[in-house]
Amino acid sequence: MTNVLSIAGFDLLLDVGVKSDIKIANLLKKDIFNIASCNTIQSQNSFVINYQDSYFLEQQINYFLSKKSNKFIKIGMLGNIANAQIINSCLENNDTNIQIIFDPVIKSSSGIELMDLKTLNYINNNNFLKNIDLITPNINEAEILSNIKINNLEDVKNAAKIIKSKGVKNVLIKGAHLNVQNKTIEHYLLQEDKD
């Protein structure tokens, strides 16, 4: 049996993060275990966030790693730099074969910043991305991670190469935000073998 751990945000009102991961795992008929990196309440008038206690987050991740086999970890909203550091430390100190997917949630669809500059700098400049098998930024997130403006397919390819150069094995840039010659770029995948 394949065991999946989702580390993501939990929102009381919205179908995002942990709640979305549970639905997808159920569709794929996979067992899923969940850790909330933070709890949020988003509405038209306000945004409130409560970060997970770092010690408790570390204990939960290590417990999963020690008890489960055939592991996949999907990381969504990190919450803050403390969470990013804890997750990175747990993954670096683990000697089992784990496939790790990172969906770098940087902003909400309504434009609220969900990853501060400290956390962004940490994932870009430390060994965080070297533990990642697949990163799945959308166009806007790819622009932030690569520090280039994306206007066309060549820019998408260059952004993927820049992100890959930070140590991540595979880069999947999710399109839907980029229209080139009246065609929407759906997805662009740069694989470990550079295909």
* Range with the largest mean pLDDT of 25-34, 105-114, 153-162, 173-182: 153-162
Task: List the structure tokens of 137.
Answer: 């930024």
Give residue-wise pLDDT tens across range 43-90.
777 778 888 888 999 999 988 888 767 688 999 999 899 999 999 998
User: Quick one: what percent of the chain has pLDDT higher than 90?
Assistant: 34
Pairing of strands 47-51, 31-42: antiparallel
Confidence check: pLDDT of 27 > 80: yes
Give residue-wise pLDDT tens across range 80-138.
999 999 999 988 877 667 889 999 998 877 777 888 889 999 998 878 999 899 999 98
* Range with the largest mean pLDDT of 40-49, 136-145, 176-185: 136-145
How far is Cα 165 from Cα 76, in angstroms, rounded to an integer?
A: 21
How far is Cα 195 from Cα 188, in angstroms, rounded to an integer?
A: 11
Pairing of strands 134-135, 170-174: parallel
- Side chain identity, residue 94: N
Question: Cα 166 vs. chain centroid, distance in angstroms?
Answer: 15
Q: What is the pTM for the complete model shown?
A: 0.86
How far is Cα 153 from Cα 121, in angstroms, rounded to an integer?
A: 26
How far is Cα 134 from Cα 116, in angstroms, rounded to an integer?
A: 22
Task: List the structure tokens of 98.
Answer: 């784990």
Among 55, 1, 11, which residue's Cα sits nearest to residue 33? Answer: 1
Under 8 Å CB-to-CB from 100, ≥6 apart: which residues?
A: 72, 73, 74, 75, 91, 131, 132, 133, 134
Contact at 8 Å (CB) between 87 and 7? yes
Contact at 8 Å (CB) between 73 and 98? yes
Angle ∠(35,17,57) on CA atoms, nearest 5: 20
